[in-house]
């Protein structure tokens, strides 16, 4: 009986060790998230940074860029828009609906630029503009290789924030800081 208990304890220990090392494979690392200075991107950056840090132990530096990054991503990860991606493509095919446009952009940038367009957040941006299109987190392939579970963590944010939720969150930031609004939002969604 003692031998069975020891064997069971040993197996449980190794199983626990395996799961723990997988979930903390990004602990102690630093990830740079580049966003522009719009209230929308600042808020989404804080939501992403908080969620990534809570889920992986990775420190996320929010890098503010005064200039639009175009279809490029100058750091590990950034927030971009499908129409911006389409404008940077050397293709005449522009798609007929949002999902087709997203698929075209996703395929083009992974093949030609080494950029991975992850699951769209669920809202269209830039907010309240005629050419608004799906907002998407974009990561460099190299960064995803350095942070092995990052794509899965970020993809859990897919379709999390629709246009009305974004507007409500932006209104909340007028009375408080984006970081606390982000934490409250993630807690309300039971994500942290």
Out of 88-92, 120-124, 181-185, least confident range: 88-92
What value does the mean pLDDT take over residues 120-146? 89
pLDDT band at 12; cut points 50, 70, 90: very low
Using a cut of 0.85, tell me whether the model's pTM lies above it.
no
Integer Cα distance of 58 and 52 in angstroms: 7
Find the DSSP H helices in 97-148: 98-112, 141-146
Q: Is the confidence at residue 18, as pLDDT, over 50? A: no
pLDDT tens readout for residues 34-78: 999 899 999 999 999 999 999 999 999 999 987 666 677 889 999
pLDDT tens readout for residues 108-126: 999 999 999 999 999 998 7
Q: Is the confidence at residue 3, as pLDDT, over 70? A: no
pLDDT band at 95; cut points 50, 70, 90: confident
What value does the mean pLDDT take over residues 19-28? 50
Select the more confidently predicted residue: 17 or 27.
27
Measuring CA to CA, how many Å separate 120 from each of 4, 13, 135? 49, 38, 6
What's the angle, vertex CA 80, arms to CA 75 and CA 82, rounded to 5? 140
pLDDT at residue 10 in the model: 47
Tokens representing residue 176 in the block: 């408080």
CATH code of the region 26-188: 3.40.190.10
Cβ atoms 171, 107 nearer than 8 A: no
Q: Is the confidence at residue 90, as pLDDT, over 50? A: yes
Domain boundaries, the chain: 26-188
Out of 19-23, 33-37, 51-55, 187-191, least confident range: 19-23
Distance of CA 149 to the CA centre of its chain: 12
Q: Which residues of 122-139 are buried (b: 16+ CB within 10 A; e: fewer)?
A: bbbbbbeeeebbbbbbbb
CB atoms within 10 A of CB 98: 14
């Amino acid at each position: 009986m003692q031998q069975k208990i020891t064997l069971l304890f040993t197996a449980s220990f190794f199983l626990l060790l395996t799961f723990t090392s997988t979930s903390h494979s990004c602990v102690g690392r630093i990830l740079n998230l580049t966003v522009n200075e719009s209230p929308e991107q600042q808020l989404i950056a804080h939501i992403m940074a908080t969620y990534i840090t809570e889920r992986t132990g990775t420190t996320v530096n929010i890098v503010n860029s005064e200039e639009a990054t175009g279809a490029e991503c100058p750091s590990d990860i950034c927030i971009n828009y499908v129409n911006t991606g389409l404008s940077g493509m050397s293709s005449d095919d522009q798609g007929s609906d949002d999902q087709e446009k997203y698929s075209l952009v996703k395929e083009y940038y992974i093949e030609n630029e080494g950029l991975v367009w992850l699951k769209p957040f669920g809202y269209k941006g830039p907010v309240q503009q005629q050419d608004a299109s799906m907002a998407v987190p974009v990561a460099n392939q190299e960064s995803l290789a350095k942070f092995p579970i990052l794509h899965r963590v970020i993809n859990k944010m897919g379709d999390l924030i629709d246009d009305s939720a974004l507007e409500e969150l932006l209104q909340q930031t007028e009375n408080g800081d984006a970081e606390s609004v982000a934490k409250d939002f993630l807690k309300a969604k039971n994500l942290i």
